[in-house]
Amino acid sequence: MDVERVSPRPEQPVRLALSMQTCDGCPSQWDATAVDGSQLYMRYRHGRGSVEVVSEGGVLGPGAELIASWYDGTNDGIIGLDEFCALANLMPPRPVMRFRRAYLDG
């Protein structure tokens, strides 16, 4: 798969301690915590993926740091966490630390 980098991805892989999938598709998205404590928002829609570090107060957009962004040439909106992490240079959390919001909401 050809991937167009919109922004450089992290030089060193970022290890995720925890991830929670908040939407299965269109977009596929996760809230995650890196082992250094950074809060991340990860999103994939229309073939475009991005990872943002959430600023203090949980604010996205202005003030959030974009650490990875790409376009894979598709119009897809569904991607698995492992594939997303590979494209973003993230190391996924151990399987026991992956959650889906639907299970938590009951």
For 90-100, write each residue's pLDDT tens digit.
999 887 566 66
pLDDT tens string 8-56: 667 788 999 999 999 999 999 999 999 999 999 999 999 999 999 987 7
Q: Is residue 32 part of a domain?
A: yes
Parent domain of 65: 4-98
Distance from C-alpha of 33 to C-alpha of 86, rounded to nearest angstrom: 17
Q: By C-alpha distance, which of 17, 26, 1, 22 is closest to 87?
A: 1
Q: Is residue 103 part of a domain?
A: no
Q: Is residue 71 part of a domain?
A: yes
Domain count, the chain: 1
Statement: residue 71 has pLDDT above 80: yes
Q: Is residue 105 part of a domain?
A: no
Q: Is residue 106 part of a domain?
A: no
Give this prediction's pTM: 0.80
Distance from C-alpha of 83 to C-alpha of 48, rounded to nearest angstrom: 13
